Every structure is written in C-alpha cells, then in structure tokens.
Structure 1
C-alpha cells in the first residue's frame, strides 16, 4: 500500500484524476439551453459581457469566446456597439446550422474516406438492426419505393436518377428512426460521399451490384432478421469502399 511522506496509508484510487470542464463550454451550454428552451426569446438583448462575466464569476474572455461560438451556431447576432441579440430559437433551423458546422469541421480536420465509412457503418448498421426488429411497415414501404426507383434508373441507364434514388434509399433507412439528430448526422456523411456516389452511378455494373445488395438489405429487414440485415449492410459498405478506392485512385492518376 502506498504511503504519504508522513507515513500515513493512502487508499486505492477508484476515480482517477478528474479534469474540470472548460468554463467557456459551460457558458455556451447554459446560454444555448436558455435560447432553445425559449427562456431567452428571439429579439432579446443579452446582458453585456461584463454583466455576464459578473453573473458567472468568470473573466470577460470566456464570455466573449462563448458568444462568438453561439453566433457561429446561428443562435445570436453580435452587433458592434449594440450588444448580442437572440436571433432564433427554433430547433429545426438550429440543427441545420449545426450540421453545416459539422461538415466544415470534418473538412478542416481532414477526415479520411475510411473514417467516414467507419462512422457510416456504426450508425447505419445500428439503425438497420433496429428497423429489422421494429418492423416499421411505413418505413419499409418508403425504402422499397426508393429501390424501385433505382431499378428504373438502371433500365433507363440514368446516372442522375440512380444517384438520387441511391441517396434516398439510405436516408429512408436512417429516417425510419424518426430521430432528427441521427438523420442530420447521417445526411452530412452522405453529402461528403456524394461526389463519389455520382461517379459510381455512371457505371451500370456498379449500379447493378449495388441494387442487388440493397435488395438483400431490404429483404433481411422485411424478414425481421437483425443479424442478416446488419451483415448485408456491412457487405454493401465493403463493396462500396472497394469501388470508392478505385475511383479515388483513378482520380489521383488523372491529377498526376
């Protein structure tokens, strides 16, 4: 057993060192909660930086950083010489602003294709398993309709129609959870992959294989087989990754 310098026994640590949450993040959370809950109304002027600093018992710098973050999220407007004003508190618009920030964050931090697809598998695979277990008939019908559109696009050899139906297929699966946050996060992943999806949609063989894999996912969902559904989705992503890597390699060769 460890002992202190004066010989007293020290008990075993069961918590480890706890890092105090950053002051700025706490201020952002409190103001954000006040805006989204309606406690702080649209058009309302926030107290001055000095007043907020006094209320929170912190320095003005932390308040200034928090206000800038809220302005970037589209929740307040900072007007020089006038102060900070609440400009909206509707959750749907807030989600849209947040989604744009997430997309910018991914670009700035150089998220790789592998990172994006790994996240897509974790999120998409979980939702597919839930859908297979719940048997949401309305959602299954919407997914089936997007698959029919993919098949029609293949018959017409239309890359644009196929790409749209392909994207709608995956969004219909995610939207079945009826969770706006999950839908928003997944939509950002799809947006990042859109350039590659458009290019793969111009190859009839890739279209045909993708439709076959989509059909297997749908049949597994209809059967209520969560394991089969997840496996089918994983297989589809592995296939997609192989196609995407080929496209990236071809693009690199063209650029060199």
Structure 2
C-alpha cells in the first residue's frame, strides 16, 4: 500500500550549521562561475549583509573554504578565488586511499594503465623544458643511487614530469595520489632488493630516450615493462601485494 501524502517528505530543510550553509553558498557561486578564479570575494561585512548572518558566521564559513583551498588571502587581507593546488588535492586523496586500506595490488593495477598512457602522450607533446628537466632528473638519480630517499624522490619526480609532459590536467590529478601512496610502499624495497635501484635507473633511461625520440609506441612499451618490473621487485622482496599500504606521512610531506 502506498504511503499517504502526509507520510512523504515533500520539503527538505537544510539542517547544516549556519556557517556551513554560508560556505556552500559561496562555493556554489564559485562552481557555477559567478565567482571566477582570481576574483575578490566581497568583504565579511558585505557577505554578512547579503546572506543575512553575522560576521562571525561568515568568518567560520570562509575558514572552511580556505581549508578546502578554494579561496586564499592576498597580502593577509582580501580573499580571492583560486583553483585548489594539485599537491593539496593529492595529499587529501592519498590519505583517503590509505584510510580505505587499498593494497599495493589495487594501485599497481591502475598504475599499469595510467603510466604507459602518460609516457605515450608525453612522447607526442613534450616540450624542450621538460626534456631538460627529465635529463636532469636521471642525472640526479644516477649520482645518488646509493641513497634510498633520493632514489624514491627521483622516481616520484620522474613520473610526475612525464604526467606534466602529457599535458593532461585530469591525468595529473588522478595519478599523483596513486603515485604518492604506491611509493610509500618502496621505503624498504631497496634494502631488500638492492639491484632494484639499478633496474630503475636503466628503465628511466630507456623511457626517456623513447620520449625524447617522440616514439609514443616505444615509450608506452618501456613504461609498461618498468611498471611490471616494479611489481616483480615487490614480490622478490617478499612483500604482501594484498596488504593495505600505510600512509607514510614523513615521506608525503617531503616528496608530496
């Protein structure tokens, strides 16, 4: 039997605290385009008048937007609309993935799809500046091959540069948290499998050469081999592919 009209919730009331409703109203203006990147927000007094709340409530709502990286202060005073920084998005998403107990295998399966695509696209779109940056990255890796932290740092930066060279903003946002959490799992890899660092260097050199030659098919092939080798190293080290990866906050702060 159908519910009577009186039993149905025809009207929903927003029961969020007032400061959250203030934040939502401003966020909606940003996401709809009424407020654009670089625009100054009205003053607290103006917002209080427009929204019919007191200034302390506006201040709390703005603080929530600052924490979301949607607005920032210029000179410590006026607030402007900004695009959230990729690094901040990655930091939040990396921790979310960690709290969801994702495993090495979960992320590796995605990486096997994403990184070869990035290498293929980079070979087609890379510019001279990024070619130079990749060359310097490989030189830095070669000079610091016995320093585990430097190896991890160079590895993260190498893949980050390739994602940038692919010139695809969605790729950068999607791949960065996966990369950060996956490489949290490598902190003990090079102690357990010392030859892995040398294989890493040779793979980076091969991928770079194909990208520099603008051979997208070969770059994709070498990147796939590199990612598959990453898994083999993890297996040789005796690590559990299905165990949750703990978020390494120290490493995230240093390399994120």
Q: Fold match, TM over 0.5?
A: yes
For 1:12, the equivalent position in structure 2 comes to none
Q: Which residue in 2 is equivalent to 1:61?
A: none
| Residue of structure 2 in register with 1:158 after alignment | 147
Aligned-pair CA distance for 1:167: 1.9
- 1:174-202 Cα offsets, whole Å, 9 max, x none, are 22235555334333222212322332234
- Aligned pair in 2 of structure 1 residues 96, 139: CA closer, same or farther (>3 Å)? closer
1:220 matched to 2:200? The reply is no
Q: CA deviation at 1:207?
A: 0.6
> In structure 1, what is the Cα distance between the partners aligned to 2:140 and 2:29?
46
Q: Specify the SS of the correspondent of 2:199.
A: helix
Distance 1:88 1:227, change over 3 A: same
Instruction: Spell out the pairing of 1:144-155 with structure 2 (5 A cutoff).
Output: 144-154=135-145
Worse overlay, 123-132 or 239-248: 239-248
Deviation of the 1:146 alpha carbon: 1.2
Change in CA separation of 1:140 and 1:107 when aligned onto 2, cut-off 3 Å: same
Higher RCO structure, 1 or 2 (CA under 8 Å, sep 6+): 2
Q: 1:134 aligns with which of 116, 119, 125?
A: 125
Q: Structure 2: where are the runs of 5+ without partners? A: 1-13, 15-20, 53-60, 73-77, 244-256
Matched, 1:193 2:188: no
- The structure that has the greater radius of gyration is 1
User: Is the Cα contact below 8 Å between 1:220 and 1:226 reproduced in 2?
Assistant: yes
If the length of structure 1 is used for normalisation, what is the TM-score?
0.63
Note the 1:1-256 alignment, pairs <5 A.
Answer: 30-32=29-31, 33-37=33-37, 41=41, 43-44=43-44, 46=47, 73-75=68-70, 88-91=80-83, 93-154=84-145, 157-179=146-168, 181-202=170-191, 203-245=193-235, 246-249=237-240
- Mapped to 2, the partners of 1:166 and 1:216 lie a distance apart of 14
Q: Supply the RMSD in Å over aligned alpha carbons.
A: 3.8
User: Residue 62 of structure 1 aligns with which residue?
Assistant: none
Consecutive unaligned residues of structure 1, counting only runs of 5 or more, are 1-22, 52-65, 78-85
Structure 1 position 100, deviation (Å) = 3.1
Per-residue deviation at 1:238? Answer: 0.8
* 1:71 CA drift (Å): 7.1
Cα distance in 2, alignment partners of residues 29 and 123 from structure 1: 32
CA contact (8 A) 1:128 1:221 kept: yes
Residue number in structure 1 paired with 2:246: none
Task: Sort the Cα spacing of 1:68 and 1:116 in 2 relative to 1 into closer, same or farther, 3 A.
Answer: farther
Which residue does 1:81 correspond to in 2? none
Partner secondary structure for residue 200 of structure 2: helix
Change (3 A) 1:71 1:148: closer
